[in-house]
Amino acid sequence: MSKPTSRVLALLELLQSGGLRTLAELADRLEVDERTVRRYIAHLIELDVPVVSVRGRYGGYRLGPGYRMPPLMLSDDEAVAVVLGLVTGRTGGLGTSAATAASATAAGTALAKVRRVLPRRSADRLDALLGSLAFTAAPPGTDVNSAVLLAVADAVRHRSPVEIGYTAADGRRSVRTIHPYGLVVHSGRWYVSAADPAVGEDRTFRLDRISEVRSRPGTFEPPAGPDPAERVMAGFTEAAYRHHVVLRIGAAPERIRTLLPVSVATVEGPADEPVDGPADGAGGGPSGWSRVELRAERLDWLPAVLAAIDGPFVIEQPEELRELVLGLAGRLASSAGREATGEARQVDEEQRAGEG
């Protein structure tokens, strides 16, 4: 959108907020001169927007009585793109700085304005999407069919079964009926958490692998317990990987979660069994062990994570992890006990001299 066009729309927004606006005030808010404001006013009048000019010392401009913006006519694809852009800005703007807080607020008010001027059908469908959507980490990044997205969101909202055409990761195609609980965006991908009555279990489906959605008769009741985002994360931690790791760690679950988030591991506890010594790196914490389970294709990254948790731990399985931890411990001990070479001592002395 060109800058003059965006400023004409900003002018209309100012006038819609009500009251009489002076020429000087409008020029200041739009960061243009008064002559340019008059030209923008003329543009609005050419578009049949009833701008009323009030002459005199306390004059200015206002909208004619009863004027309302016409409905914003967007296709489903356009509406989804606009709304998701605003939602992404709002969720990505969570922070403590005044700038990010202002951005999140602006995204929220802009979303409300777009919602207000959409036709009823589009607004209702987007309400269904927003009401069924959860973010776990990164904002959306994978392309998804808007028709599929809106149809699934509508089914979540009305608790109605849908039939989907689905392509699995190995390329197998199937048609199945599901009961969708909610939509989740995680690490740039869209997922729907749903029950699959044919197998009697909960499933997680990627939306970009759904080719079509058809409504089916009837309704269902979502199960009690974890919300859709937690269900999707649990599915990731329980997926089939090469190694099944079971640990007991003498640290607070909150501490463990900083290094092994919910998308990586399940954490239960702490148990009542006492832990010898401090239970976490802060020199205190719970008096029991937390049970940790995770699945992974590789184990080489885990010894460093266990060291960073800085608490006692017990490896219940697998044996390969124990060997990797012992190997890392040996290398660290060897390095810690190694004397500096003459060359290394000279460099160290020169650095100290430079600092002095």
CB 291 within 8 A of CB 319: no
Q: For 245-272, what is each residue's pLDDT tens digit?
A: 999 999 888 889 888 887 678 888 776 5
What is the band of 98 on the pLDDT scale with cuts at 50, 70, 90? very low
| CATH classification (class only), 3-63 | mainly alpha
Give the pTM: 0.43
Which pLDDT tens digit goes with each residue over 300-349?
999 999 999 988 999 999 999 999 999 999 999 888 887 766 555 565 66
Helix (H, G, I), strand (E, B) or coil at 57: coil
Cβ-contact 24, 61 below 8 angstroms: no
Question: Tell me, what's the pLDDT at 237?
Answer: 53
Choice between 348 and 20, residue whose per-residue pLDDT is larger: 20
CB-count burial class (<10 Å; 0-12, 13-18, 19+) for 302: buried
Contact residues for 242 (Cβ-Cβ < 8 A; gap 6+): 296, 297, 298
Query: pLDDT per residue over 28-63, tens digit each?
Result: 988 899 999 999 999 888 878 888 988 877 788 988
The topology (CATH level 3) of 135-225 is SH3 type barrels. (2.30.30)
pLDDT of amino acid 146: 80
Q: Is the pLDDT of residue 179 over 90?
A: yes
How does DSSP classify residue 325?
H
The pLDDT of residue 100 is 45
Give the torsion through C-alpha atoms of 125, 129, 131, 135, to 10 deg. Answer: -170
Mean pLDDT of 112-124: 75
What Cα–Cα distance (Å) separates residue 287 from each residue in 168, 266, 278, 284? 45, 20, 8, 8
pLDDT digits (tens, 9 = 90+) for 184-223: 877 667 888 888 898 888 888 888 899 999 999 999 988 7
- pLDDT for the residue numbered 280: 44
Single-letter code of the amino acid located at 167: T
